[in-house]
Amino acid sequence: MSRPEHLAPPEIFYNDDEARKYTQNSRMINIQLEMAERCMELLMLPEDEPCLLLDLGCGSGLSGSVAEDSGHIWFGMDISDSMLKVAKEREVEGDLLLGDIGDGVPFQPGTFDGAYSVSTLQWLCNADKSSHKPAKRLYTLFSTLLACLGRNARAVFQFYPENVHQTDLVVSQARKAGFFGGLLVDFPDSTKAKKYFLVLMTGGAMPMPPALGTENSQINYTSKREKMTKGRATKLVKKSREWILEKKERRRRQGRTTREDTKYTGRSRSGRF
């Protein structure tokens, strides 16, 4: 299945029909809301204090509704006129601006207390026109964004990189623009649940927030390699207690719901009732 950014530029891909899906497709709505909620967590905004936030690639305003529910005020910017029309029909509370974030964000210095973006940043990693240079457009975005953020503010981008080159490009241009922070990956061991977030900070380096699904992801890879070099003699017996525990541990690393281990785990059942 082709990635949307390979099919057409965003202002063309998100036409009237595609924009309608964001108000009718429950799966797309749930994913958008879930990612926006995670962005709000990573922004680490002060509790019980309304903040002014910038939503980059706001689309139909779904992510903005999460900011509203958290008691914040938001301003949305998007390149798709069709998506903004849907946002207006939904009567969202945030103000809206039609524009290309690759050309920079045109706001006064220190305007916003934070910024977030859901499923938008990967579009800037592709050149839709001969004049588009991904590195330059990313740098323009990050440098102008840094200028319009307040002191000690954060920016969080949830995005879908196509490869390692794109993650390296995004992180390098953000740091070149003057941001601190880096890449955070939730559920790194899961194919389906894995999500990428670019967490950017102003005013100095701070510890990165913890990723989800990593409680049991500190795997001893050295011991794994040692086991492999010893051959298959140590292969666990299928359905033994050790085999079951290892399988459950693997499911936890993938972010799946797994029952707690007990003294009965792996115990053979009697055939009697």
Alpha-carbon distance of 38 to 8, in angstroms, equals 28
Question: 240-250: per-residue pLDDT in tens?
Answer: 878 788 777 76
Residue positions counted in the chain:
273
Question: 154-190: per-residue pLDDT in tens?
Answer: 999 999 999 999 999 999 999 999 999 999 999 999 9
The enclosing H or E element of 229 equals helix 221-229
More confident residue, 208 or 258: 208
Structural contact between residues 110 and 151, judged by C-beta atoms closer than 8 angstroms: yes
Buried b (16+ CB within 10 A) or exposed e, 209-218: bebbbbeebe
Going along the chain from its start, the domains and CATH numbers come out as 4-229 (3.40.50.150), 234-272 (no CATH)
DSSP strand pairing (73-78 vs 52-56): parallel
Q: Which residue is associated with the tokens 């503010």?
A: 153
Question: 53-102: per-residue pLDDT in tens?
Answer: 999 999 999 999 999 988 999 999 999 999 999 999 988 999 999 999 99
The enclosing H or E element of 43 equals helix 26-43
The pLDDT of residue 204 is above 90: no
Q: Is 191 exposed, middle or buried (CB count within 10 Å of its CB: 0-12, 13-18, 19+)?
A: exposed
Query: What are 166's two structure tokens?
Result: 């794109």
Give me the pLDDT at residue 260, please. Answer: 82
Q: Which residue is associated with the tokens 């795997």?
A: 219
The enclosing H or E element of 63 equals helix 62-69
Percent of the chain at pLDDT above 70? 86
Confidence class for position 255, pLDDT limits 50, 70, 90: low
Question: 116-149: per-residue pLDDT in tens?
Answer: 999 999 999 987 777 789 999 999 999 999 999 9
Question: DSSP assignment, residue 163?
Answer: S
* DSSP code per residue over 79-148: S-HHHHHHHHHTT-SSEEEE--GGG-----TT-EEEEEEES-GGGGGS-SSTT--HHHHHHHHHHHHHHH
